[in-house]
Amino acid sequence: METKRTLVIGASGQVGTELTAALRNQYGVDAIIASDIHPDEKLQKQGPFELLNVLDKPRLEAIIDQYQIDTIYHLAALLSATGEKNPPLAWDLNCNGLLNVLNVMRDKGLKQLFWPSTIAVFGPHTPREETPQFCVMDPNTMYGLTKLVGERLCEYYFEKYGVDVRSIRYPGLIGWKSAPGGGTTDYAVHIFYAALQTGEYTCFLSEDTRLPMMHMEDAIRATIDLMHADASRLTIRSSYNISGCSFTPRELSNIIKESLPDFVIKYEPDYRQAIADSWPQSIDDNIAQNDWDWKPKYNTAKLTEDMLIHIREMLAEKA
């Protein structure tokens, strides 16, 4: 029997690093081909790795043929903050990159695609609390706009060409194994390093900015569970709302202070404040619960405890 393999595009990023490791644990190192636009020494040492710019379709096709890929996790994207710094690149990478992958999926008859969407697909006229799956969506960042286009493309390719594409609207993702890059929710990772290393943090969002967040372990589990879910149960082929927890910088810093009473937080909101203000504060994920039994394990307190334990360990190892 032919061995079919999985390709992770954007494997060096915040989600890619952890997802590649989780998939390799489950399916074996050689079954998971990591790829990224940047070389990554650690990933290259661990197992198969290919340099890939997803905008280079012939190269994408060559890798798929070489490794007999049948499943793709396409994670490469510019996020909200970096997207505002370079809107044309955000458009090109986020929309044309996805289009390349969808066309290859269709033309080569590949089995399954995972592609992440985001809470950034919502906008200022979206209901902000318990944001429903279906509602007004008027994103005003280039990132949000490209991801909304992407959601519509995914559903279109499923309906019209039968591409088995599955997607989740990730909230802010918080983990200790990999660094975030270019997002508005990144403060919620940086804050833990700052609290443990210097005891103080200057937050680029205001103290009462509530945003939906999720522990990375929950996000990786959600992703793999959705890919395993019985296709006949799935009613959403654009992208599923999922909820983890929801907090403000002040609430998070207060929980951190329970372990580190001397921790000091200051607030100096910058251009990312306007982005955060246009996003939901919490998410209704009833459909994900019904369709594929989604349930988070981490609330804010558990997430904080886990981050502090592991980052403390990591810093001690490095010292």
Annotated catalytic residues are: 143
Tokens at 80, concatenated: 């909200």
From candidates 79, 102, 142, 256, binder to ligand SER by CB under 6 A = 79
281 touching ligand SER, by CB under 6 A: no
Nearest to 166 by CA among 80, 243, 102, 247: 102
244 touching ligand SER, by CB under 6 A: no
9 touching ligand SER, by CB under 6 A: no
Tokens at 257, concatenated: 């202070």
Cβ distance to ligand SER smaller for residue 48 or 172? 172
Q: Is 148 exposed, middle or buried (0-12, 13-18, 19+ CB in 10 A)?
A: buried
172 touching ligand SER, by CB under 6 A: yes
197 C-beta neighbours (distance < 10 Å), count? 11
241 touching ligand SER, by CB under 6 A: no
Q: State the amino acid at position 82 in one-letter form.
A: T
269 C-beta neighbours (distance < 10 Å), count? 16
How many residues of this chain interact with ligand SER, rule: CB under 6 A?
Answer: 11
Rounded least distance, CB 244 to ligand SER, Å: 12
Rounded least distance, CB 208 to ligand SER, Å: 18
Tell which phi-psi region holds residue 205, choosing left (phi > 0), alpha (psi between -120 and 50) or beta. Answer: beta
From candidates 118, 223, 238, 239, binder to ligand SER by CB under 6 A = 118
What span, in angstroms and rounded, lies between the C-alpha atoms of 175 and 15?
9
Q: Tokens 């001690």 label which residue?
A: 316
158 touching ligand SER, by CB under 6 A: no
Query: Which of positions 180-219 make contact with ligand SER (CB under 6 A)?
Result: 183-185
From candidates 6, 12, 20, 80, binder to ligand SER by CB under 6 A = 80
What span, in angstroms and rounded, lies between the C-alpha atoms of 16 and 43?
10
Candidate ranges 95-103, 112-120, 132-140, 188-196; the one touching ligand SER (CB under 6 A): 112-120
H or E element, residue 113: strand 112-114
Nearest to 278 by CA among 148, 179, 189: 148
Cβ distance to ligand SER smaller for residue 48 or 280? 280
Candidate ranges 179-187, 189-197, 261-269, 310-318; the one touching ligand SER (CB under 6 A): 179-187
Binding site for ligand SER (CB under 6 A): 79-80, 118-120, 143, 170, 172, 183-185
